[in-house]
Amino acid sequence: MRPVMIPEPILETRVFAPATVANVACGYDVLGFAIDSPGDEVVVRHSNKPGLRITTITGDHGKLPKDPEKNTAGVAALDFLRHLGMLDRGIEMEIHKKMPFGSGLGSSAASSVAGVYAVNRLIGEPLTKKQLLPFAMAGEASADGAWHADNVAPCLLGGIVFIRSNEELDIAQIPVPKNLWAAVVHPDIEILTKVAREILPQDIPLANATQQIGNLGGLLCGLIQEDYGLISRSIHDVIAEPRRQKLIPEFYKAKRAALSAGALGFSISGAGPSVFALCEGEQSARKVGDAIAKVFADVPLSHQIHVSQINPRGVHVIDEKINA
């Protein structure tokens, strides 16, 4: 007798992976959170041809390769399929880039997370979200050569994520105060992560290290206790921000404008050029976002404003075709 072929329950899935704010001032490489938008979308479907193929890429202005071995979404998905012994599984992938490159919003992480999450969903979710983390990390690392989860982890899991160890991928999700909002402004310039890392000091004075540790501990305690005053006193970066601010036009003017408008704190998102402010309440966040945007508009510099609560979902399915 011929074996009975069981049809795949999911024919096609489209997922959304959100932008993220990494470092969060004092948490260099160990703290990040997800926002509602922008983000990347990936579509995957079954194929009769063996192997993973990237058929379509939009929004990349021709910058991204369709070779899955050279594309962050493809690398993450292939690493995952290799782990399962399913490299011959026929899968077609579309990538729709809806966030800028070199923005400091985790563009590479979003593609990587979307790629592996979509494939995992298509084949029946053999792994949990958290188990997908190392494969998503491999995808992002293929783009910038760094191994840090402060973009990938919040993009995948949502919320605010603390990374005790990037090497061990020992992470914890931090409680989010109910009325905590973020105003994120992206000025239309590009800063490569490699360049932003090269200008950082190799040696840090003990006094600065002690202050940064205190700020990070204070920020974590403030988040857990919903103590907005402690959050505000703790959002200070004495290591990366003083060096990286020179890459962003009118950075300190924007910071003064944000704090004057009521922000709890203000700093650089990831490697920049995007900047962020944490705020108490939506009204405050919108006022702060407008104040920051006005500084960039006066340069003049085109920009985009994203006002959002902390995104609790992370990557998720937005559309699916199911086998009837």
Question: Which of 140, 190, 198, 280 is labelled catalytic?
Answer: 140
Helix residue spans in 273-319 (DSSP H) = 282-297
193 is catalytic: yes
Which residue type does 197 have? R
Strands 160-165 and 170-174: antiparallel
Q: Give the DSSP H/E element, type plus range, for residue 259.
A: helix 251-260
Check residue 314 and report its DSSP letter: -
Within a 10 A sphere around the Cβ of 90, how many other Cβ atoms? Answer: 13
CB 155 within 8 A of CB 18: yes
Q: Mention every residue, 6+ apart, whose C-beta is less than 8 A from residue 211.
A: 236, 238
Distance CA 24, CA 4 (A): 53
Residue 41 pairs in a beta bridge with: 16, 96
Q: Which among 97, 88, 79 is positioned nearest to 19, based on CA atoms?
A: 97
Q: Which among 27, 25, 22 is positioned nearest to 151, based on CA atoms?
A: 22
CB 117 within 8 A of CB 15: yes
CB 58 within 8 A of CB 44: no
Check residue 70 and report its DSSP letter: G
Q: Which two tokens stand for residue 205?
A: 């004075």
Question: Which of 41, 193, 241, 280 is labelled catalytic?
Answer: 193
Q: Give the DSSP H/E element, type plus range, for residue 169.
A: none
Residue positions annotated with a catalytic role: 140, 193
